[in-house]
Amino acid sequence: MQKTQKKKPSWWFYGVFLPLTLLLSGWGSSLWWLWASGAPSNTVSTSVRIKIPDGMPSQVIGRELEAAGVIRSSLALRLWLQWLAWEEGDTRPLRAGIYDFSTTQPLREVVAQLQTAKPVEVRFTIPEGWTIAQMAAYFEEKGFFPAAEFITAANKVQPKRRSWLPDSIPSLEGYLFPDTYQIPPNEVSPERLIELMLDRFEQTALPVYKARQSGQSKIAISLADWVTLASIVEKEAVLEKERRTIAGVFWQRLKRNMPLEADPTVEYGLKIKQTPDKPLTLDQVRTPSPYNTYMNEGLPPGAIASPSLASLKATLNPEATEYLFFVARYDGSHIFSRTLEEHKQAVQQVDKQFRSKTESN
């Protein structure tokens, strides 16, 4: 049988066609990169404001910037970030915030602004259950202003500031709504931040109270007492499933003229924080204070923290329960009891579990 001889590739394929193809490909890629990395507009400058939320991936940021006309190609942004990381070791993330861009900015300037420049507006977050003192320390740490200035401003209760603010409250504790806020840097001041948080309380929390008070299932509680009781629920409740139960226990104790005996009120009055290994002492519990709900019946004179919307709602819609006591297990959960004897046994159980865990460690 005659063998078929393989045809060798012609010299022009390797000598002419392939080099020319690679040359044209590289030339085309270079032209694409010059276009993709350039400014969307070389003549007319248009300002574009973009909001970058926390945790947004860089690929999504690229698509948002491309859709808004800030950059020409989200692929080019990803390639540029990879080049910066590989060639220059620059792995800085794209920061969250609100930015003003110009359509005459090339890609490298847009990326540099997102990595290094301050956003148009500063952001701050107040966690649920924080006190005015915690907020003040946080603002000072962020470099906004001294903590003492915020505390002074928050202790000034001006009824004219908001018509709905109760006259009897000792400070704005409880009414500075916990949330995330954004504000221009030139507007940062204790008074302005307080106004923002009061606005958010008025927009978010106040309608909940008004709706319940105007409905058929109206609950007999003033605005001031509502916020105060909700703040205690907030400090006691860790698990969402127990929030309404804890609110129900406090309502039951109030109806029976029993002291609330809430540890967080003692801590607030003494400006201390108990821990599993350093719980409140008997002397601390017996220390007189307007906020000591072991020694005083009823509610303290004001809130002890900024309650979450969930705690505010739970306080207006407590669980119908026969429980009168509860004790924390130190893992966030509680043991609820109907009688004092049951409660004492629960306390002993928790103490035993804690000692056993400490000894094993």
Query: Can you give the pLDDT at residue 191?
Result: 94
Domain C-terminal end among 96, 120, 144? 120
Same domain? 332 vs 242: yes
| 299-339 per-position pLDDT tens digit | 999 999 999 999 999 999 999 999 999 999 888 899 999 99
Give the mean pLDDT of 13-36.
58
Is 12 a domain residue? no
Check if the beta carbon of residue 301 is closer than 8 Å to that of residue 265: no
Is 10 a domain residue? no
Residue 121: HSE in the Cβ half-sphere, 13 Å Cα cutoff: 14
Is 298 a domain residue? yes
Same domain? 234 vs 157: no
H helices, E strands: number in the chain: 15, 6
Query: Can you give the pLDDT at residue 34?
Result: 77
Instruction: For 309-327, give one letter per residue: b (16+ CB within 10 A) or e.
Output: bbbbbbbbebbebebbbbb
Mean pLDDT taken over the chain: 87
pLDDT greater at residue 357 or residue 291: 291
Give the residue carrying structure tokens 């159980």. Answer: 349
Same domain? 95 vs 151: no
> Which of 137, 336, 183, 172 is closest to 253 using CA atoms?
336
Q: Sign of torsion, CA 51 57 62 64?
A: negative
Same domain? 281 vs 323: yes
Is 19 a domain residue? no
| 41-96 per-position pLDDT tens digit | 877 888 888 888 888 898 999 999 999 999 888 888 888 888 888 877 878 888 88
Domain that holds residue 343: 222-360
Q: Is the pLDDT assigned to residue 153 strictly greater than 80?
A: yes
Helix (H, G, I), strand (E, B) or coil at 327: strand
Q: Is the pLDDT assigned to residue 4 strictly greater than 60?
A: no
Q: Sign of torsion, CA 297 274 181 194?
A: positive
- Indicate the number of domains in the chain: 3
Same domain? 244 vs 193: no
Identify the bridge partners of residue 125 per DSSP, sorted by sequence position: 180
Q: How far apart are CA 203 and CA 129, in angstroms?
A: 19
Is 24 a domain residue? no
Same domain? 97 vs 174: no
